[in-house]
């Protein structure tokens, strides 16, 4: 006699489709980019002796990645992830080697910037492509009743993985640079790219290329990417990027004023670790706590945290105020990123998943690069108090985009 409540088939799980080795592989494969941005900064400061040159070189890497990321995502949607990742991994490894050679040569700064631009333009978009792969598998291969919860869990995990990589990437750079030399982080990033991004590209989950006929039938027009409901998500994640860049730069200026600039990374980790933990917890939220509501709630947490951080320059305030502000900011950032990627996945036009995910990843990088440069200029010209106000302005932008999204999201949408 059959049970009226049969047990679920273990083969109908995401891990059964991907294999358990997929997740550590995808985690390590996204590490080189986190190492590259900080590694370029470390290398140029050490070899060229100019903080200004190093900051500009690092910003060039981030901006080039933001500009070319969506094009790489579009290539993956059109030709498949495997050839796209293999090509970018090869070019990026060579570009990292070229950058190291150029930095240590007598060539002018323009040559260094050109090499840095090539590094950023060829970054393998591992993180957004992993999101695209997993969401595609869930939507096409798992039972319909499991899809919403599984997608929420996957996006929470992916956001937490990104947070951890960007927290520990600089730590690895510091260890390699102090033990082996300033060239070691760049060499390590090149080696990891060649080995692990190639393995990620060849993994059986890699989205295959489609024929011209299949693309015509399943690929939505590019104009679909310009819908207001999708663009507001891109603007929202760009605002989160400005929170990252302005917070780190103003925090560095604050610690430098106290004679302890090297400890800025440790305090920044307070925000990063808390953000990663809360991102994982986002998968446990009730469906009644809708995505559009989450955007406004967690963006408000960022504003509160950054307001506390902005008050740290007042007399009688100190590192305790900074730590509290960063902790509250982290409570908002992790779940907000999960929410934004959830909107991105839900609003992706058919066949454009990788493009949308790289648009979102590029939005973070562009916001981070531009705000870091702007905050540095403000700190130099207007002082610390003015610089500490910029993260608060960035937090306010996340609330404003959340309000716009509220108006663009139907009341019944979850």
| pLDDT tens track for 30-62 | 888 878 877 787 788 778 776 567 777 878 888
Whether the CB-CB separation of 243 and 363 falls below 8 Å is answered with: no
Alpha helix positions (H), 80-146: 81-103, 109-121, 126-141
pLDDT, position 88: 95
Whether the CB-CB separation of 273 and 330 falls below 8 Å is answered with: yes
Q: Which residue has the higher pLDDT, 55 or 110?
A: 110
Buried-state track 19-42, b at ≥16 Cβ within 10 A, e below 16: eeebbebbbbbbbbbbbbbbbbbb
Sign of the torsion formed by the C-alpha atoms of 306, 307, 312 and 316: negative
pLDDT band at 211 (very low <50, low <70, confident <90, very high): low
The residue-averaged pLDDT of 222-245 equals 86
Among the listed ranges 65-74, 235-244, 261-270, 284-293, which one has the minimum average pLDDT value? 261-270
Question: Taking each helix axis from N to C terminus, what angle separates 228-257 and 319-347, rounded to the nearest 10 degrees?
Answer: 160
Q: Which two tokens stand for residue 299?
A: 């963006």
How far is Cα 345 from Cα 384, in angstroms, rounded to an integer? 39
Q: Which helix (H) or strand (E) holds 172?
A: helix 147-179
How far is Cα 382 from Cα 372, in angstroms, rounded to an integer? 15
How far is Cα 278 from Cα 163, in angstroms, rounded to an integer? 11
The residue-averaged pLDDT of 223-246 equals 87
Q: Which residue has the higher pLDDT, 8 or 126?
A: 126
Q: Which two tokens stand for residue 281?
A: 């917890």
The residue-averaged pLDDT of 95-103 equals 93
Is 361 buried (19+), middle (13-18) or exposed (0-12) by CB count in 10 A?
A: buried
The residue-averaged pLDDT of 371-375 equals 81
pLDDT band at 165 (very low <50, low <70, confident <90, very high): confident
Q: Which two tokens stand for residue 67?
A: 């500009």
How far is Cα 188 from Cα 172, in angstroms, rounded to an integer? 10
Residue 89 has pLDDT above 80, yes or no: yes
Q: How far apart are the first and last CA of the chain?
A: 39
The residue-averaged pLDDT of 124-138 equals 85
pLDDT, position 3: 45
Topology (CATH level 3) of domain 220-414: Growth Hormone; Chain: A; (1.20.1250)
Which residues have a Cβ under 8 Å from the Cβ of 273 and sit 6 or more positions away? 163, 167, 330
* Average pLDDT of every residue of the chain: 82
Residue 362 has pLDDT above 90, yes or no: no
List where CATH 1.20.1250.20 sits in the chain. 19-217, 220-414
Residue 5 has pLDDT above 60, yes or no: no
Say what the pTM is: 0.75
The residue-averaged pLDDT of 392-414 equals 86
pLDDT, position 94: 95
Q: Which residue has the higher pLDDT, 170 or 193?
A: 193
For the stretch 292-346, pLDDT in tens is: 899 999 999 999 999 999 998 777 677 889 889 999 998 898 889 888 988 887 7
How far is Cα 233 from Cα 255, in angstroms, rounded to an integer? 33
CATH 3.90.1150.10 fits 19-217, yes or no: no
How far is Cα 408 from Cα 235, in angstroms, rounded to an integer? 13
């Amino acid at each position: 006699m059959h049970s009226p409540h049969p047990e679920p088939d273990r083969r109908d799980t995401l891990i059964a489709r991907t294999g358990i080795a997929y997740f550590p592989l995808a985690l390590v494969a996204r590490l080189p980019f986190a190492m590259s941005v900080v590694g370029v900064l470390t290398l140029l400061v050490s070899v060229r002796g100019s903080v200004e040159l190093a900051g500009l070189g690092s910003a060039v890497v981030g901006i080039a990645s933001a500009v070319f990321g969506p094009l790489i995502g579009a290539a993956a949607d059109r030709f498949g992830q495997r050839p796209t990742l293999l090509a970018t991994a090869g070019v990026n490894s060579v570009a990292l080697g070229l950058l190291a050679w150029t930095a240590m040569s007598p060539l002018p700064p323009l040559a260094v910037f050109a090499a840095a631009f090539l590094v950023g333009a060829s970054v393998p978009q591992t993180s957004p492509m992993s999101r695209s792969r997993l969401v595609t598998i869930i939507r096409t291969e798992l039972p319909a009743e499991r899809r919403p919860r599984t997608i929420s869990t996957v996006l929470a995990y992916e956001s937490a993985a990104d947070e951890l990589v960007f927290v520990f990437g600089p730590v690895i750079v510091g260890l390699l640079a102090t033990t082996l030399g300033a060239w070691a982080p760049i060499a390590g990033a090149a080696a990891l790219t060649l080995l692990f991004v190639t393995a990620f590209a060849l993994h059986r989950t890699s989205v295959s290329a489609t024929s011209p006929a299949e693309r015509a039938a399943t690929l939505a027009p590019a104009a679909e990417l310009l819908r207001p409901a999708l663009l507001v998500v891109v603007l929202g994640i760009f605002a989160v990027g400005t929170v990252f860049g302005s917070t780190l730069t103003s925090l560095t200026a604050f610690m430098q004023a106290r004679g302890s600039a090297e400890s800025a990374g440790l305090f920044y980790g307070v925000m990063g670790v808390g953000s990663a933990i809360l991102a994982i917890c986002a998968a446990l939220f009730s469906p009644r706590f809708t995505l559009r509501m989450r955007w406004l709630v967690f963006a408000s947490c960022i504003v509160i945290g950054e307001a506390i951080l902005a008050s740290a320059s007042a007399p009688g305030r100190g590192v305790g105020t900074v730590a509290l502000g960063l902790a509250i900011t982290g409570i908002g950032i992790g779940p907000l990123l999960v929410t934004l990627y959830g909107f991105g996945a839900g609003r992706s036009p058919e066949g454009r998943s990788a493009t949308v995910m790289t648009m979102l990843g590029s939005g973070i990088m562009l916001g981070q690069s531009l705000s870091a440069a702007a905050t540095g200029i403000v700190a130099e010209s207007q002082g610390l108090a003015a610089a500490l106000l910029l993260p608060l302005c960035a937090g306010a932008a996340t609330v404003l985009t959340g309000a716009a999204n509220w108006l663009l999201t139907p009341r019944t949408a979850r």
